[in-house]
Chains A and B, each alone.
Chain A
Amino acid sequence: AAGVIQSPRHLIKEKRETATLKCYPIPRHDTVYWYQQGPGQDPQFLISFYEKMQSDKGSIPDRFSAQQFSDYHSELNMSSLELGDSALYFCASSLGGGEKLFFGSGTQLSVL
Chain B
Amino acid sequence: GENVEQHPSTLSVQEGDSAVIKCTYSDSASNYFPWYKQELGKRPQLIIDIRSNVGEKKDQRIAVTLNKTAKHFSLHITETQPEDSAVYFCAVLGAAGNKLTFGGGTRVLVKP
The 0/1 profile, CB within 8 Å of B marked 1, for residues 60-104 of chain A is 000000000000000000000000000010101000011111111
Contact A105 B42 (CB under 8 A): yes
Q: Residue A99 contacts which of B34, B36, B43, B104 (CB distance < 8 angstroms)?
A: B34
Select one of A42, A44, A92 contacting B103, CB under 8 A. Answer: A42
Across the interface, do A99 and B42 meet the contact criterion of CB distance under 8 Å?
Answer: no
Question: Is B98 within 8 A of A43, CB to CB?
Answer: no
**B93: nearest residue on chain A (CB-CB)?**
A99
Bound together, the chains give a CA A92 to CA B44 distance in angstroms of: 10
Question: B97 contacts A99, CB within 8 Å?
Answer: yes
Q: Complex formed: what's the CA distance from A88 to B39 in Å?
A: 13
A99 adjacent to B49 (CB under 8 Å): yes
On B, residues with C-beta under 8 Å from A are 32, 34, 36, 41-46, 49, 51, 89, 93-94, 96-105
The 5 nearest A-B residue pairs measured at CB: A56-B98, A97-B97, A103-B43, A42-B102, A99-B32
* Chain A residues near B (Cβ < 8 Å): 33, 41-45, 48, 50, 55-56, 58, 88, 90, 92, 97-106, 108
Residue contacts A-B, CB under 8 angstroms, 7 given: A45-B100, A56-B94, A56-B98, A97-B96, A97-B97, A98-B97, A100-B46
